[in-house]
Structure 1
Amino acid sequence: MTIHRLTDKDFEQAFQLSCYAFQVENPDDHRQRAQKAWDRSINIGATENGQLLSKLALLPLAVHIHGKTMPMGGLAGVASYPEQRRKGHVRQLLGHTLQTMRAEGHLLSYLAPFSVSFYRKFGWEILCEKTTYTLNAKQLPKPLPIADGKLERVDPSDPRICAVYEKRLCHGMLVRDPQWWDHLQNGAYKAKKAVLYIDAAGEPSAYMIYTIQKRNFTTEELIFGDQKGLNALFAFIGQHDSMADTAELTVPAAEGLSYFLPDAKTKAETIPYFMARIVDVAPFFQAYPFLADGQGDFVFRISDPVAEWNDRLFAFSVKNGKAHPTTVGGDEPVFETDIQTLTALMLGYQRPTFFKHAGFIQGDEKALQDFFRLIPGEQPALVDFF
C-alpha cells in the first residue's frame, strides 16, 4: 500500500468511494459538484495495485484568528471501504496530510468529526459548538415594526451578503474567498432564501439565509453585528407567523442567542461542531496575535505522537503581542501539555483556567497565569461546513 497525492485519473475511483462510504443516492446528481470540490482540493489516497482503498480531501483555506488571517487546511471526505477499515490506513493518511499541510504553510487544520474521540487520537480537539434553538408558536418573535432601517428579501448571491459577512467576521470563522462564495451560492444556498437588513445609515449590516418547509422556519446562517440588526431579523421571522408554526435557529454557541430571544427558556440543543489542530507549533506561536499589554518568557513541553516536529520543547518570548523563539536557559518554568490541549487553549474553546483545573496543562502557577493573561478571550465560532 502507498500513500500519495491523487491525480485527475483517480477522480472516478474517489467519487465512487465517497458515494459508497456516505451512502449517496443518485450519484450522477452529485458528480458535477464533486468534480468542482476535487478541482479545488489536494486529494490524498491510499492505493494498492491501482485500487483506491482510502482517501481524503485537503482544502487550502484561511481562518480569522483574533483579527488575523491564518492559512488553514480543511479536511473533508475522509473515507475507506468497510473491508479496509481498522488497518491503520486513516492514521497513515492523516500523518501524510499533516506533512503536506506543513509544507504548504498551513498553521491550523479544521475538520467536522464523525467521532470526536477518534480524531483526538490524532491531535485534533473541539474548536467550537453550535446551538439549535427550537421555538414553538408562542415563542416566535413578535412581528414588531422595525424602528430603524429596512429589510430586503434578496437572492443568496447578492454581493451585499458577502460584504456583511466580511464586516462581521469573528474569531474562528472562515475567510471566504470568491471560490468559496461560488461554492455556497451555486451549491448549498442555491435553493434557499435570504433577507438583508439595511441600517438607518443605508449600510447592509445583518442577513439571514433560511428556508420555510412544512410550516417550520429554519435558519442556515444568521449574521448580525448589533442588537438592532438581530431584532430586525427576529421581526422578519415573526412576520411569518401565518406560514410557520415553529422555528429552528442554528448559530454558533458563542453567540449566546438565548440572551436575546423573546423567551430565554427556549429549547436549545448544543453539540460539538468542528475540531481543530495546530499543524506546526513554532510558526503558529510566531503568527499568533497575543495581547500586547503583557510579556514573558515561556517554555512548553508538547507531546504530539503524530507530528514529530511538534513533539519537543518550545521556548519563546512574548512582547508587544508577538512571540519570538528563544533558547532554553534551564531555569524557566516548563509547561507540559499535549497538542490537543494547546490547540483548544490558544483558540479559546474553553477559558484557560478550565485546562489548568482539569489537569490538561501543568506548570508553575504564576507562570501559567502570566501566560493566560496574554491569550485573547474571544470564543471561536464557525458557520461553514465542509
Structure 2
Amino acid sequence: MEIRQLHADDFEEGLGLSEYAFQYKVSGEDRERARAKFKPDQIWGVFEGTSLSAKLVLLPLQAYIQGKPVSMGGIAGVATWPENRRQGYVAKLLTHTLQTMNEAGQTLSFLHPFLIPFYRKFGWEIYCEYKKYNIPVDKFPRKAEIQGSVKRGAADIEVLQQLYVTFAARYNGTLQRTAEWWKEKVLDEDTHQCVFYSQQGEPEGYVLYKIVNKELVIDEFVYLNEKARQGLWTFLANHDSMITGASLKLVPSDDILPYLLPDPRIAQENYPYFMARIVNAQAFIENLSFHALSGIRERLLYIEDEHAPWNNGLWRWTVAEHGEVSFTQILGDRSNADLICSIGTLTVLLMGYRRPVEMARYGQLSGTHEAVDWLEKLIPQAQTALFDFF
C-alpha cells in the first residue's frame, strides 16, 4: 500500500471513483473542463499497486478566527470503492493528512461529514450549525421607507467581497474567499444579486437569490446595519405578486429574524453543519487572544489526541498580564492535570461553539470547579458560522 498525491495521468481513475461514490456522471465538454481544472497535488490517494483504492481532497484555505485569517486544511471528496471499505484506508488517509497539514502550518482543519460519528473518532467535532427558514409571503417583514437604494444586477466581486469580509469576520469559522472562490463556488448564471447602498453611495449589504417555482431561494443575506437589512427585505417583499414565499438557508445560528417578523410562527430548522479539528494545539492557541486574568495565571491541561501525537499529553497553559498566552508541553500524565479533554472538545471550546462550564456539565471536560471556571473566564465569547460548502 502507498499513500501519495495523484499525478496528472491519474485523472480518469480519480474522477471515476468520485462518479461512483457520489453517484453522478461527467461527460463531454464538462469532462474536459474538469480535466483542465484538475489539481492532482491537492488530492491524496491510497494505492494498492497501481490501483487507486481511496482518496480525499486537501484544500489550502483560510478561515477567520477572532477576525483574522488562519491557515486551514479543508478536507473534501473522501471516497472509497465499496470493495475497499472497512479496510482502514480512509483512517490511514486522515492520519496521513493530519501530518501533512501540520508540516504545512495549517493549524486547523474543516470538513463536511458524511457521518458525524465516523469523523469524531479522528478528532473532528461539530463547530457550527445553521438555521433554515421558510417564510410565506404574507409573513414577510414589513416594507419600510429607507433612505438609500438597492441596485439589482451583477455587482462587482470586489463590492461583494468587501461586504462579505466585514460580515463574515464577526464569526469564527467563516472562509476567507478569493476571487476564484467567488466565481467557482458562490456565483453562477442562475443567481441574482442586489446590493443596498446608503444615501452617501456606500455599499452596506447584499442578497444572493434565485427564483424557483415561485419561491425566493435566498443563498446569502449579508448586511452591515439595520437600515441595510430593512432595505434589502423591502426589495425582496416587492416580489410579492410573483412569489408564494421565501426560503433562507445557511443563516447564522445567532440570527433573530423570526422574532422581528410580524408573525414569528414560521417553519424553522437548526442543522449541525461542518466539523472542525485543531491540527496543532500549540500553534493554534498561541495565535489567539484571551481575556486577561487576575489571580491564578497557569493551569495544566491534558489533551487526548491519539491521531496527532504532537498534541497528545500534558500542557502548561500560562496567561500573561494582557491576555497573551504560552502553551508548553511538559512531562506528566492525567493525574497531574487540572483539566482533561479530547482534541475535539478543545476545538469547539476555542472556536466558541460551546462553553467550558457547559462541556464540564455534560462530562466532555474534566477538572475541578476552580479550573473550569478559570477556563470559562479565559476564553472570549464568540459565535461560529459558515456560509460555504466544499
TM-score (norm 1): 0.93
One-letter amino acid matched to 1:312: G
Pick which of 260-269 and 24-33 moved more: 24-33
Contact in 2 for aligned 1:110/1:276 (Cα 8 Å): yes
Question: What is the alpha-carbon distance in structure 2 between the residues aligned to residue 213 and residue 194 of structure 1?
Answer: 15
Deviations 1:67-121 (A, max 9, x none): 2221000001111111111111100010011000001100100011111111111
| SS of residue matched to 2:254 | helix
Paired residues of 2:356 and 2:365 also in contact (CA < 8 A)? no
1:88 paired to 2:94: no
Q: Tell me the equivalent position of 1:380.
A: 384
CA distance, structure 2, for counterparts of residue 167 and residue 40 of structure 1: 33
Provide the C-alpha distance between the structure 1 equivalents of 2:331 and 2:46, rounded to a whole number of angstroms.
Answer: 44
2:4 matched residue in structure 1:
4
Query: Which residue in 1 is equivalent to 2:323?
Result: 321
How far has the Cα of 1:177 moved from its partner?
Answer: 2.3
Unpaired runs of at least 5, structure 1: none
Distance in 2 between the 1:328 and 1:53 partners?
A: 40
C-alpha distance in 2, partners of 1:50/1:128? Answer: 39
| 1:163-209 deviation digits (Å, cap 9, x = unpaired) | 11112222221111233223235xx5332111111123321111111
How far apart are the structure 2 equivalents of 1:40 and 1:204? 39
2:257, 2:10 → 1: CA distance? 45
Assess if the C-alpha contact under 8 Å between 2:314 and 2:329 holds in 1: no
Structure 1 stretch displaced more, 285-294 or 340-349? 285-294
- The 5 Å alignment of 1:12-91 reads 12-28=12-28, 30-31=30-31, 34-35=34-35, 38-39=38-39, 42-91=42-91
| Alpha-carbon separation, structure 2, partners of 1:36 and 1:381 | 32
- Cα distance, 1:148 vs structure 2: 1.7
Q: Which residue of 1 aligns with 2:264?
A: 264
In the other structure, the counterpart of 1:109 is 109
The structure-2 alpha-carbon separation of the partners of 1:52 and 1:298, relative to structure 1 and needing over 3 Å to count, comes to same
Partner amino acid for 1:221? E
AA at the equivalent of 1:190: E
**Do residues 368 (structure 1) and 369 (structure 2) align?**
no
Q: Supply the distance in 2 between the matched residues of 1:302 and 1:96 (Cα, whole angstroms).
A: 20
* CA distance in 1: counterparts of 2:131 and 2:179, whole angstroms: 28
Q: Which residue of 2 aligns with 1:159?
A: 158
CA contact (8 A) 2:6 2:40 kept: no
Q: CA deviation at 1:332?
A: 7.4
> What is the rounded CA distance, in whole Å, between the counterparts of 1:349 and 1:327 in structure 2?
25
Tell me if structure 1 keeps the 8 A contact 2:154–2:193: yes
Contact 1:129 1:271 in 2 (8 A): yes
Residue deviations 1:298-325 (CA, integer Å, cap 9, x gap): 2111111211111111112122232213
Query: Residue 307 and residue 30 in structure 1: after superposition, are their counterparts in 2 closer, same or farther (change >3 A)?
Result: farther
- The equivalent of 1:309 in structure 2 is 310
Verify the 8 A CA contact 2:316 2:328 in the aligned structure 1: yes
Judged with a 3 Å threshold, the aligned counterparts in structure 2 of structure 1 residues 333 and 87 are, in CA distance, closer, same or farther, namely closer
Q: Distance in 2 between matches of 1:316 and 1:25?
A: 51
- Structure 1 residues 201-259: Cα deviation after superposition (integer angstroms, max 9, x where no partner): 32111111100011010111111122211111211221111111021011122333323
In 1: Cα distance, 2:60 partner to 2:248 partner: 29
SS at match of 2:365: coil
Distance of aligned partners of 1:316 and 1:18 in 2 relative to their CA distance in 1, 3 Å threshold: same
Give the C-alpha shift of residue 149 in structure 1: 1.1
In the alignment, residue 97 of structure 1 is paired with which amino acid? T
CA contact (8 A) 2:110 2:276 kept: yes
Cα deviation for residue 159 of structure 1 reads 2.4
Identity of aligned residues (%): 37
Structure 1: distance between partners of 2:158 and 2:22? 33
**Most deviating of 103-112 and 35-44:** 35-44
Give the AA of the match of 1:383: F
Moved more, 20-29 or 165-174: 20-29
TM-score, normalised to structure 2's length? 0.92
Please give the secondary structure, in 2, of the residue aligned with 1:254.
Answer: coil
Q: Is the 8 A contact 1:350 1:379 kept in 2?
A: no
What does residue range 236-315 of structure 1 map to in structure 2 within 5 Å? 236-250=235-249, 251-292=251-292, 296-315=297-316
- Structure 2 residue runs of 5 or longer lacking an equivalent are none
Quick one: which amino acid aligns to residue 173 of structure 1?
T
| Residues paired across the two proteins, number | 383
Task: Tell me which residue corresponds to 1:235.
Answer: 234
Judging changes above 3 Å, is the alpha-carbon distance between structure 1 residues 140 and 29 closer, same or farther for their aligned structure 2 residues?
farther
The answer to whether the 8 Å contact 1:254/1:381 transfers is: no
Contact 1:258 1:266 in 2 (8 A): yes
**Contact 2:127 2:275 survives alignment (8 Å):** yes
How much does 1:30 deviate?
4.2
Match of 2:345 among 341, 346, 358: 341
Q: CA RMSD in A?
A: 2.2
